[in-house]
Amino acid sequence: MYDWDSNPELNITPLVDIMLVLLAILMVIAPNIVYEENIKLPQGSATQQLSKIPPVHITIDKEKNLMVNKEQYELNAFLDNFFTYSRTLDLKATVLISADKSLDYGVVMSVLSAVKQAGFTDVSLATNG
């Protein structure tokens, strides 16, 4: 005869132990699994080379002497002169502005504005560090 009032107890301790061992094995092995799929890439044109665009260096010292790639420019007429000079340059070139820290903020911003108006988009202000 069967006793319907008894509650069978399930012992899940061995199941938990086995799962923890499997989890530990998986955690040790998983970083070493390398999935590799062979992909056939299309042939590129070997004749086309990426051209390195030389950067444009603008330097302003504390006496407001302005140099663009070793050429002297007048600060008052910089907007027009740089606009004319920039037509000989590639507008995708990086422009690096180095200015003395004792200069007025407006001087640096006027040079930055002139560079932006000339059409350059990649403009950086140089810092010491």
Residue 40 domain flag:
no
Among residues 113, 120, 16, 101, the alpha carbon closest in space to that of 60 is found at 101
Give the model's confidence band at 4: pLDDT under 50 very low, under 70 low, under 90 confident, else very high.
Answer: low
Average pLDDT over residues 105-114: 90
Strands (E), the chain: 56-60, 66-68, 71-73, 95-99, 123-125
**Count of the separate structural domains present in the chain:** 1
Residue 19 domain flag:
no
Range of the domain at 92: 56-125
Residue 91 domain flag:
yes
Task: Please say if the pLDDT value at position 6 is more than 70.
Answer: yes
Task: Please say if the pLDDT value at position 3 is more than 70.
Answer: no
Residue 13 domain flag:
no
**What's the CATH code of the domain at 61?**
3.30.420.270
Predicted pLDDT of residue 22:
96
Residue 78 domain flag:
yes
Per the CB < 8 A criterion, the answer to whether 119 and 85 are in contact is: no
Average pLDDT over residues 100-123: 89
Residue 96 domain flag:
yes
Q: What is the mean pLDDT of the chain?
A: 84
Residue 114 domain flag:
yes
The predicted-structure confidence for 10-68, as pLDDT tens digits, reads as follows 888 999 999 999 999 999 998 888 877 777 777 776 655 556 888 899 999 888 889 89
Average pLDDT over residues 117-122: 89
For the whole prediction, is pTM greater than 0.75? no
Residue 60 domain flag:
yes
